[in-house]
Structure 1
Amino acid sequence: MTPSGIASHDSASQPQGEQQRGGEAGPAPAGMPHPHPAPLAPTRAHRPVPDASVLTLEDPGPLLATGASADVYALDEEYVLRRYRNGHDAAREARILQHVAAHGFPVPTVFLSEGPNLLMERLHGPTLLQALAAGEIPIGEAAQVLVDLHTRLHAVPAAADEPCDEARWPFVASGPVVVHLDLHPGNVVLSDTRGPTLVDWANARAGSAELDVALTALILGEVAVDAGGDYSQAARALLAAFVVRSPVSPLDALTEATSTRRADPNLVTGESELVEDAAELIRDLIRVAH
């Protein structure tokens, strides 16, 4: 979710359905409430799961989305292939997805994993970001979607054998629950069959709910403090609604989150300079709210 366009860094955060690749989202929310439709019952006929040969196809299909580390290709209407461009092993991500799914958390189903490739369920529907930009969901309701996903995710205990990746996450202490570390509107697909579904689990690991919530607040805050951004006012309103509704305060791990965020190699040019201002905005909003 970059300040310039509230767009996700990683590929799977783009919708896996009918949305086109690339380009900016529509106009910023006008602030008028719009009813958001409930998920529809599935209408597509189920196709057999592709075999493992699709994992190594040089040209697996149309490119649905691309990001800092991975690309997502459409195999058909039901399946996508997520592939890390740097050859990163996706097995750990697959294990985390299967773990949280077993606890009832809404994620796309993983069918196969091999090397940098994941064969996954294709989701149909806009991202929460796109729904906000189109004025299809009120800001308060969108904030509640983020809060609810955090609450549900942090009820999932970390797997007992989950390794602590200190080399990749030097500022992140291990913790008792699963954390996503990149939970923002661009990574939430409003699936027409599942409802709000969280994608892009490249950063997920064992950690604390406080850090996860603080990182979401920081990402929103970076957009809000970007004076030249198209969505700064909408992001500020969303951040304010999020911190008021969240039962976990972003202040509890804001220092840790700030260090983690500044060390993120996927930040776009100029984004790291916004982190401290975003943290100060969070403190200001919480002071006003309380």
Structure 2
Amino acid sequence: MPPAEVAPTDPARAADVPGRLLTSGASADLYAIDDDRVLRRYRDGRDVTPERLLLDHLAAHGFPAPRVDDAAGADLVMEWLHGPTMLQALGAGEMTLHDAGELLADLHLRLHDVPAPAGWRPTGAGDAAAGPVVVHLDLHPGTVVLTERGPFVVDWAHARPASAELDVAVSALIVAEVAVDAGGDYSQAARALLASFLHASDIDAVAALDEAAALRANDPQLVPGERELVQDAAALVRTLVSLTARR
């Protein structure tokens, strides 16, 4: 979980934090406690009990997710995973796009081997999200931390029980949205990463693509302009899957 120089979203809570702010995400802030632990605090005050249950469950099944040391209210105390994100490693030329695509596919494969915990119902998941396996629904190069112990997946706020097809489709869309952004600096690299990911995955990304596109289009955390990219991104995923199938 790399540091980032950002200001706290809610300065009124500054006196109630254990250390310096490392990063502010869409829904939570991350603070350093010491050299080994961080505090993840959700700004909407959600109960983190379901997330702790999930992370403990993943650890019991050998999946590389952060260890949780404590959880109370909207706060999760977790191990500090030292290392760059996959996105940072790509930007620094420390990882190839081909290898990144294969790693993303492998992490999906390993995650979808984990059955959903019995009785687990994340906040806001709803009955329609029911499915047989644990899915992340935000697994992309920015949520994979490359540590000395190997890659770890972070940011489990969207996780729920669903299908492997939905998870792969959402990840493909997230990368494809960067690829179809004509004004973006990384569109060509994102297209190559997407092609590598789809080629390496044994899951049909098109099977749940419409559902994934609906989820993305209705995500309140999308910044202005991102929502308009979803349909073009879906079309790109369909095209690349079709090309892969012909090989």
TM bracket, shorter-chain basis: over 0.9
How much has 1:21 moved relative to structure 2? Answer: 3.1
The answer for the alignment partner of 2:197 in structure 1 is 242
How much has 1:97 moved relative to structure 2? Answer: 0.6
CA distance 1:229–1:170, change in 2 (3 Å):
farther
Distance in 1 (CA, whole Å) between partners of 2:4 and 2:174 is 24
1:162 paired to 2:120: yes
- Given that 1:71 and 1:82 are in contact with CA atoms closer than 8 Å, whether structure 2 keeps it comes out as yes
Distance in 2 (CA, whole Å) between partners of 1:271 and 1:172 is 24
Aligned counterpart in structure 2 of residue 209 of structure 1, from 151, 154, 164: 164
The answer for the alignment partner of 1:90 in structure 2 is 48
The answer for the alignment partner of 1:21 in structure 2 is 5
Distance in 1 (CA, whole Å) between partners of 2:186 and 2:152 is 23
How much has 1:162 moved relative to structure 2? Answer: 1.4
Aligned counterpart in structure 1 of residue 70 of structure 2, from 106, 109, 112: 112
TM-score for both structures, normalised by structure 2 = 0.92
- Given that 2:136 and 2:167 are in contact with CA atoms closer than 8 Å, whether structure 1 keeps it comes out as yes
How much has 1:172 moved relative to structure 2? Answer: 4.8
The answer for the alignment partner of 1:36 in structure 2 is none
- Given that 2:85 and 2:141 are in contact with CA atoms closer than 8 Å, whether structure 1 keeps it comes out as yes
The answer for the alignment partner of 1:138 in structure 2 is 96
1:275 paired to 2:230: yes
Counterpart of 2:130 in structure 1: which amino acid? Answer: S
1:230 paired to 2:185: yes
Distance in 2 (CA, whole Å) between partners of 1:120 and 1:287 is 41
The answer for the alignment partner of 1:31 in structure 2 is none
The answer for the alignment partner of 1:284 in structure 2 is 239
CA distance 1:264–1:206, change in 2 (3 Å):
same
How much has 1:67 moved relative to structure 2? Answer: 1.2
TM-score for both structures, normalised by structure 1 = 0.79
Distance in 2 (CA, whole Å) between partners of 1:221 and 1:86 is 29
Q: Higher relative CO (CA 8 A, sep ≥ 6), structure 1 or 2? A: 1
How much has 1:249 moved relative to structure 2? Answer: 1.3
- Given that 1:169 and 1:260 are in contact with CA atoms closer than 8 Å, whether structure 2 keeps it comes out as no
Q: Secondary structure at the match of 1:279?
A: helix
Counterpart of 2:65 in structure 1: which amino acid? Answer: V
Counterpart of 1:157 in structure 2: which amino acid? Answer: P
Higher helix share: 2
Q: Secondary structure at the match of 1:252?
A: coil
Structure 2: state its 5+ residue gaps: 7-13
Q: Secondary structure at the match of 1:250?
A: coil
How much has 1:170 moved relative to structure 2? Answer: 6.1
